[in-house]
Structure 1
Amino acid sequence: MNHGGHLGNDAVLSLVHEARVRLFARHGWTELDVRGPGILMVDAAVVYRAEGAWGMTLRVDVAVADLGSRGCDLVYRLSDAASGKEIARAKTGIVFFDYAARRVVHVPEAFREVFGPP
């Protein structure tokens, strides 16, 4: 909670990080190994739609958008699990990164197979 008693930006980014980790784990990946390269978060944005309150259970839905040659956006919808009311939306831009070579690389084929166009 922030000073105003509302869901803070730092908490939203922590929640979407956890959602991203779980999404990757569902496919057998980690943020450091998506069938080879890892990821780097290069930007983030949070937009509030309603007030988030202490004790509220949130549901976080995740989707992939703007899949390019070296990265994509992950978009998140945070809603009150009890009512379904949308609380916030967030976006994180990621690129794929070869940590050994210290450079941005192409999207792994395994990621593209799961999240690319049919």
Structure 2
Amino acid sequence: MARIKLELPQEFSFETTLPVRISDINYGGHLGNDRVLSLIHEARFQYYKSLGYRDELSIDGVGTIQADTAIVYKGEAFHGDEIKVQIAIADITRKSFDVLYALSCEGKEIARAKTGIVMFNYEEGKVCNIPEPFLNKIQN
């Protein structure tokens, strides 16, 4: 079976810590695979807020759409654990970029993930260029 491989950078531009809640636990007694997607969504939301944006729909007059996702599971996490989520931006084009995530707990890798993000003008209902102020922020 071919496996997804995600290479992560040495440096990340943002970091947050998120708790594993009881609702994040699956029937196996550990962090559910579907909940990893929710954790990275929360981390990405916090990243945008750290850049001065209210949410993912209010980025210099336009919003974002998640075009794709890849998650590679590396280890378990359990109720009460604090997950460190690190974020880096990669593969920036005129209209899109990738958000890379490293999830760990007490130095143990839990997961790696990537989301492909496309800028979207919701008023016009179409893909648009990355606004210059936002581009300047994510390139740093």
* TM surpasses 0.5: yes
- For 2:131, give the aligned amino acid: P
The residue type paired with residue 94 of structure 2 is: S
Equivalences for 1:91-102 in 2 at 5 Å?
A: 91-102=114-125
> What CA distance in whole angstroms lies between the structure 1 residues aligned with 2:114 and 2:29?
23
Divergent runs of 4+, >6 A: none
Q: How many positions carry a matched residue from both structures?
A: 115
Partner of 1:20: 44
RMSD of equivalent CA atoms: 1.3
The 5 Å alignment of 1:1-118 reads 1-29=25-53, 30-80=55-105, 83-116=106-139
Q: What is the deviation of 1:68?
A: 0.8
Q: CA deviation at 1:40?
A: 0.3
Alpha-carbon shift at residue 111 of structure 1 (Å): 1.8
Could you tell me how far apart the structure 2 residues matched to 1:93 and 1:6 are? 27
Structure 2 gaps, min length 5: 1-24
Partner SS, residue 52 of structure 1? coil
Cα distance in 2 for partners of 1:11, 1:71 equals 25
Identical positions, percent: 46
In structure 2, distance between residues paired with 1:78 and 1:47? 10
What secondary structure does 2:27 align onto? coil
Q: Please, which runs of 5 or more residues in structure 1 have no aligned partner?
A: none
**Which amino acid letter does the alignment assign opposite residue 32 of structure 1?**
L
